[in-house]
Amino acid sequence: MKLAVYGKGGIGKSTASCNISIALAKRGKKVLQIGCDPKHDSTFTLTGFLIPTIIDTLQSKDYHYEDVWPEDVIYQGYGNVDCVEAGGPPAGAGCGGYVVGETVKLLKELNAFFEYDIILFDVLGDVVCGGFAAPLNYSDYCIIVTDNGFDALFASNRIATSVREKSRVHPLRLAGLIGNRTSKRDLIDKYIEACPMPVLEVIPLIEDIRISRVKGKTLFEMAETDPSISYICDAYLSIADALLSEPEGVVPRELGDRELFSLLSDFYLTPENKNSNEQNVKEEPLDFFLV
């Protein structure tokens, strides 16, 4: 099974990806996580350091694939999850899709791409071009990480568009949304009512999630010494179980931009929602929605 995790930049995709990878490994699966971001920090909480990237390794070998060994690019992280960082082109040059393609090509050359039960692509930010959508070409399921706010759901809607387009020529489905770092899901529910898709789990906003990133440890590793956060790990295990059931998934029918703006801004402007969402309104001023 191949999974591609997408969502608005800074929404917590890498943290979610690492913990989902461990949850899948705890269910007895051999897992490879591939970071697809020039920051190459997707697997940081699994390994505790920034591992060398595929692109940097290939450059050091003058792109002679035969000189690259699995141990040059594949590093084992916590929970026996194997880790790869694709890296990225220089800023303002090159294409992210090319880097992903080279990564998959090298892993196939190393006979590694098909040795895993699960391959998880952790992909940067919003889908703004075909290059960043490239991991969808190789995936069975897309998972969208969002929160209960306008910007993240707007990005989710764009990702849904990419899934629909890619599903025309690839056996790709949307497994569902993960609500991340939120105590509420009312705006998420409003969105999925208009654009039906499953919600895999809602992860609350707790300080330990932020701390895990700084410490370079996953929540599963932190829970070994702090059992009070085990309930968060259970949420990731629930996501893993849902994925391993091989859900039918959906081909989403995204909303048009104007329709989405109207839907979400009307929600904020409705009197009964205005007070309950005061914090969200402060974070995302109403004049933004009315432009």
* 158 annotated ligand-binding residue: no
* Residues 41 and 14: beta-carbon distance below 8 Å: yes
* 213 annotated ligand-binding residue: no
Amino acid code (one letter) for 216: G
Report strand pairing: 31-36 vs 199-203.
Answer: unpaired
* 39 annotated ligand-binding residue: yes
Q: Active-site residue 13, yes or no?
A: yes
3-state helix vs strand vs coil in the chain, percent to 5: 50, 15, 35
Scan for tokens 């703004």, then name that residue.
128
* 276 annotated ligand-binding residue: no
Residue length, the chain? 291
* 206 annotated ligand-binding residue: no
From 37, 82, 126, 140, the catalytic residue: 126
* 195 annotated ligand-binding residue: no
Which H/E stretch holds residue 4? strand 2-7
From 2, 8, 184, 217, the catalytic residue: 8
* 13 annotated ligand-binding residue: yes
What pairs with residue 33 in β-bridges?
83, 120
Scan for tokens 């990225």, then name that residue.
88
From 39, 61, 108, 215, the catalytic residue: 39
Amino acid code (one letter) for 4: A
Q: Active-site residue 184, yes or no?
A: no
* 10 annotated ligand-binding residue: yes
**Alpha-helical regions (H) of 27-69:** 44-47, 54-60
Which H/E stretch holds residue 102? helix 96-109
From 2, 13, 166, 217, the catalytic residue: 13
* 15 annotated ligand-binding residue: yes
* 95 annotated ligand-binding residue: yes
- Binding residue ranges for Mg(2+): 14
For the annotated binding site for ATP, the residues are 10-15, 39, 180-181
Q: Which residues are annotated as a binding site?
A: 10-15, 39, 95, 129, 180-181
Catalytic residue set: 8, 13, 39, 126
Annotated binding site for [4Fe-4S] cluster: 95, 129
